[in-house]
Amino acid sequence: MMSLMVLDILLTILHLIIIGFNLFGWLFKATKKLHFWFAMVTLGCWTILGVWFGFGYCPITDWQWNIKTQLGEQNLPGSFIKYFADKLTGSNINADLIDVLTLIFFLVAIACSIKVNFFNKIKSL
pLDDT string in tens for the chain (125-residue length): 789 999 999 999 999 999 999 999 999 999 999 999 999 999 999 999 888 888 889 999 999 999 999 999 999 999 999 999 999 999 999 999 999 999 999 999 999 999 999 987 656 56
CB atoms within 10 A of CB 2: 6
Classify residue 37 as exposed, middle or buried by CB count within 10 Å of its CB (0-12, 13-18, 19+). exposed
pTM metric for this prediction: 0.89
Classify 49 as helix, strand or coil: helix
Helices (H) and strands (E) in the chain, counts: 6, 0
